[in-house]
Structure 1
Amino acid sequence: MDNSTLLNTGPVSWVLLAVLLALATMVWRAALGRRAREIVIAGLRALVQLAVVALLISRMAGHPELALGFVALMFTVAVWTSGHRVAPSGRWWLAGIPIIGGVLPTAALMFLSSVLPWNALAIIAVLGQQIGSAMASTTLTGRRVEDELIVRRGEVEAGVALGFLWSEARSMVAKPVAGEAVLPSIDQTRTSGLVTLPGTFVGLILGGASPLDAGLIQLLVLISLLLVNTSAAWVTMLLSTRGAWQHETADR
């Protein structure tokens, strides 16, 4: 195996990619009853996008301002993706609020403390991870809370009948389930080094960093993602309790 990579990247890897994608598609379609094209398109998009991103990143080294432009593109795609999962026929663009609400304060703290350098590759790597994590938390929290509010609508209406505001009544239903989206991040952090070896840590070790430095950097990444995810989940819940995602709830 080439010491510069974690996996062998010869011709057989392309064959394995096709096999893995085909098997994932079969399970998604046959066992879970979902549309096969979702998995296929996701895999093909990842191939094209990673190829383009690899080319762009190689051109951005030394140009932090270009990196910020690329981060803005990441944010836009994340808002579109998460928003259409939570509110496909509603105010999907509101997904930008929890995503930026999770990323902005966390990134600001890292910049102000000089932990995150003004370096193009560092900006793309760290902020890209944070945006992706906030996107996932927004999607999971939004879908979970919106579904819960539909199923338990009677409880919400009962709360209003007792004198609670609509937002307060929704909050009593939403709060117990809103944090579930953050559980994977918590579990990844608490089992880091025992169950999971995160990519940042492995990459740094392979790149020649000392185990202590690699561990500290990975810890900073994991803890920062906890702040990103909890903040995004909280803001998403607030939007749901105020009926902000759906057009038809304006009177409540």
Structure 2
Amino acid sequence: MIAVAVGLVLVAVAIAISARWRLGISRELAVAAVRALLQLLAVALVIQAIFEHLGAASVFVLGMLGIAAWTASRRMSSVPRALAVSLASIGAAAGVTLTVLFAVGAFPLTPRYVIPTAGIIIGGAMSCVSLVGIRLADDLADKRGDIEARLALGVSVAEAVRPWARRSVVTSLVPALDQTKNVGLVSLPGAFVGMLLGGASPMEAAQVQLTVLLALLGTEALAAVIAAAYITGLVTLPGERLRRLA
């Protein structure tokens, strides 16, 4: 608990800095810290109770997926059917990755491995889908004149929107690409550090972390493409007309 107390002190410092510089995020910092504390304690108790039951772990993973989709949809409120976009993109990408990982035996199919692996994969897909939705929605609003000019030349909505859809996908993948390229040089990811602290050898920790990191990169790329394609379809009206976003 001493380590947690130290972390809370550092958050308090961040809040003080925010107040001093009038950043306007003091309340958000405090809420984030309190929520993280309460949520992790609650999750730890729940996971401890279901660690021996694969069925219960599967239900827990579905719950994580639902919360992730809801969180991502709130970030892109101007996108029509945002919740459906988030759920489909995150669910499909994470589902493919988790199925492959456990089907080939990369990790044992037990709650001890299913829950943390799914959490990492779903969390990464959530962040990526949020970025795609935010960026693409902004571009569809800001560049509407350019897109309609392309439509006037006779191209489809999908073709007219494609440059901005591609840009939203690339932008959403920047954090994952930077993390993957600089792993071990700039930062040591959580799975690697956690395994080291748990007594695993550096090579074992590196192998697990590399598997997760590469799987995460593939998941985020797939989720981003699905989200961009889904949003493009939703803004396409009959007669190859562009829907105006709120």
Normalised by the length of structure 1, the TM-score is: 0.86
Structure 1 gap ranges (5+): 1-8
- Which residue is equivalent to 1:5? none
Deviations 1:86-122 (A, max 9, x none): 1267422121011012201111111110112121121
SS in structure 1 at match of 2:186: coil
- 2:230 aligned residue (210, 220, 239): 239
Taking the aligned partners of 2:174 and 2:187, their CA distance within structure 1 comes to 15
Distance 1:33 1:210, change over 3 A: closer
Partner in structure 2 of residue 198 of structure 1: 189
Aligned equivalent of 1:148, options 125, 130, 139: 139
In 2, the alpha carbon distance for the partners of 1:32 and 1:158 equals 42
Residues matched between the structures, number: 239
Q: 1:168–1:241: 8 Å Cα contact kept in structure 2?
A: no
> 1:75: Cα distance to partner?
0.6
State the distance in 1 between where 2:204 and 2:43 align. 27
Contact 2:78 2:137 in 1 (8 A): no
Deviations 1:25-50, CA, capped at 9 Å, x for gaps: 45556657445433322221111110
Specify the code of the residue in structure 2 equivalent to 1:64: L
In the alignment, does 2:54 pair up with 1:64? yes
Q: In the alignment, which residue of structure 1 is the partner of 2:113? A: 122
SS of the residue corresponding to residue 175 of structure 1 reads helix
Match of 2:88 in 1: 97
Q: Are 1:208 and 2:202 counterparts? A: no
Displacement of 1:186 in angstroms is 1.2
Measured after TM superposition, the shift of residue 174 of structure 1 is 2.2
TM-score (norm 2): 0.88
Equivalent position to 2:12, from 12, 22, 36 = 22
The alignment partner of 1:182 has SS state of helix
Distance 1:104 1:31, change over 3 A: farther
Residue pair 1:156, 1:173 contacting (<8 A) in 2 also = no
CA distance in 2, matches of 1:20, 1:159: 51
